[in-house]
Structure 1
């Protein structure tokens, strides 16, 4: 369930940034650590807990922060792979990890949706490029951390939730990442 005021904020922000509602639109609300998906102004694709960067929000290369602002979805990687499949270098490894207490590794599991910054000089281009920073929405086995900012800059999701999202979006769809308010 989305708070009506937050829903209005999300829809208004997406429309302001060019979302036409004939394609899915995503809105990540940093303070609540929630990702919201919309298809049209009346249809909610889902609301999912996520984990963003432990170091907060920012667009600088090597910052460990989750980038801000308008993005488009890039490659969608991993279709057909089983839940919990680990990826290294965007390639399936054959290892399945659905849950773990091992904090020594930032597992990238199930699916990868690569983010492309859409604002030149802000989150696109030298020193700030979300795509070149390899920022993803990806599955995680660190389920207890969802809803808290603990990632290395990517957007982590529960693998089952990521499967729901992955099947409803595609390259070119919009995502707006709101760090505050």
Structure 2
């Protein structure tokens, strides 16, 4: 993965690659630094259609980042902290809630008609890289379309990124 520059000649950006088949997220920093984390993507597999519950493929970028300086385990609803911190007791009171925790890295598609535009828009589908309860398994597709990470991992990743960071989501096969 080569690094990328922002438009207008600004500083180079890191890059992310999400491998749906291997269920991993690969980070490449501008200084050659590399990191890899297990993730959990859509249980329904890849796909771009609105309301499909699938993880969109193709070229994307980080459009927005939410949760800077929030405590690990912060609960978000509609990208706003609720004032709650995830715990097994909180989970028992809200069975079935799709937990979005710690940080939100909101993605936007770059490919018109593929992952951007009517019926397929990653940004309007609210596709995020976000934290999930650490009791959830990684390396196994289980999400509703987003890319889930353990909380300490998404916090680490979040600190390495900024808006505009390129993201590619691919199956390897």
Q: CA deviation at 1:180?
A: 3.2
Structure 2 counterpart of 1:37? 27
Q: CA deviation at 1:39?
A: 1.3
Contact 1:34-1:48 at 8 Å conserved across structures: yes
Q: Distance in 1 between matches of 2:171 and 2:162?
A: 23
Which 4+ runs in 1 deviate beyond 3 A?
Answer: 18-21, 98-103
CA RMSD in angstroms comes to: 1.9
Q: Distance in 2 between matches of 1:41 and 1:57?
A: 31
SS state of the match for residue 154, structure 2? helix
| Residue 64 of structure 2 corresponds to residue 75 of structure 1 | yes
Q: CA deviation at 1:31?
A: 1.0
TM-score scaled by length of structure 1: 0.85
Contact 1:83-1:98 at 8 Å conserved across structures: no
| Residue 38 of structure 2 corresponds to residue 49 of structure 1 | yes
Contact 1:52-1:148 at 8 Å conserved across structures: yes
More helix by proportion, 1 or 2?
Answer: 1
TM-score scaled by length of structure 2: 0.89
- Counting matched residue pairs gives 165
Alignment of 1:125-140 (within 5 A): 125-140=117-132
Q: CA deviation at 1:99?
A: 5.9
Listed as ranges, the gaps of 5+ residues in structure 2 are 6-10
Listed as ranges, the gaps of 5+ residues in structure 1 are 1-10
